């Protein structure tokens, strides 16, 4: 985390003035946002995966699948705890700004338009003239 913060400072990124656009629920996309976001940050995300994250079902599904395939109860739990995705997973449920079809995000000279509102929304990029 310290290395990432140092890199952002070196690039001149003011994290206090930064918003986040999360494409999907993987630790390498979503995991650190709860540690990087500030009180003024907007965290853009999609509804289906926000709901899924709240439920915690995906971890239970993994454990149940492993158990049904003959793994002892402790093995999937041990694997989950040692997986890098567990270490860097999202902590808690940040206040997501849910994007829906037709929503736009404007960044500098670019306008992003959401073309879908499913788990991995499609985005159309237009450069302003």
Q: How would you write the pLDDT of the chain (129 residues) with one tens digit per residue?
A: 888 889 999 999 999 999 998 888 887 778 888 888 999 999 999 888 888 778 766 677 778 888 888 888 788 888 877 877 777 777 778 889 999 888 999 888 999 988 875 555 555 555 554
* Residue at 66 is within a domain: yes
Residue 3 placed within a domain: no
Asked whether residue 48 is domain-assigned, the answer is: yes
Is the residue at 20 inside a domain? yes
Residue 118's pLDDT is 55
What pTM was estimated for this model as a whole? Answer: 0.71
When divided into structural domains, the chain yields a total of: 1
Instruction: List the domain range (segments joined by +) for residue 70.
Output: 14-127
Number of helical (H) and strand (E) elements in the chain, helices listed first: 7, 6
Residue 54 lies in a domain: yes
Q: Quote the pLDDT of residue 122.
A: 54
Residue 72 lies in a domain: yes
103 and 114 in contact (C-beta within 8 Å)? Answer: yes
């Amino acid at each position: 985390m310290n290395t990432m913060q140092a890199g952002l400072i070196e690039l001149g990124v003011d994290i206090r003035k930064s918003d986040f656009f999360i494409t999907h629920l993987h630790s390498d996309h979503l995991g650190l946002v709860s540690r990087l976001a500030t009180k003024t940050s907007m965290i853009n995300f999609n509804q289906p995966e926000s709901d899924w994250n709240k439920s915690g079902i995906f971890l239970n599904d993994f454990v149940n699948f492993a158990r049904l395939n003959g793994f002892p109860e402790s093995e999937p739990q041990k694997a989950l705890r040692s997986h890098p995705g567990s270490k860097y997973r999202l902590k808690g449920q940040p206040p997501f700004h849910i994007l829906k079809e037709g929503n736009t995000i404007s960044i500098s000279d670019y306008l992003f338009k959401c073309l879908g509102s499913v788990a991995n929304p499609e985005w159309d990029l237009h450069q302003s003239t």
